[in-house]
Amino acid sequence: MSFDVLQEKIIRMKNPTVVGLDPKPEYVPEHIRKASYEQFGETFEGAADAIFQFNKGLIDALCDIVPAVKPQSAYYERLGWPGMSMLEKTIRYAHEKGMYVIADIKRGDIGSTAEAYADAWLGVTKVGEALCGGFNADCVTLNGYMGADSVNPFLKVAGERDKSVFILAKTSNPGSGELQDVKTADGRTVYQVMGALNESIAAGTEGKYGFTMAGAVTGATYPEQIRQLRADLPHTFFLVPGYGA
Are the beta carbons of 80 and 47 closer than 8 angstroms? no
What are the residues whose beta carbons fall under 8 Å from the beta carbon of 22, sequence distance 6 or more? 71, 72, 75
Determine how many CB atoms are found less than 10 A away from the CB of residue 34: 13
Does the active-site annotation cover 106? yes
Strand, coil or helix: 64: coil
Determine how many CB atoms are found less than 10 A away from the CB of residue 79: 22
User: Which residue in 9, 56, 89, 106 is the catalytic one?
Assistant: 106
Are the beta carbons of 10 and 244 closer than 8 angstroms? no
State the Cα–Cα distance between residues 102 and 180, nearest whole angstrom. Answer: 24
Q: Which active-site residues does the annotation give?
A: 106
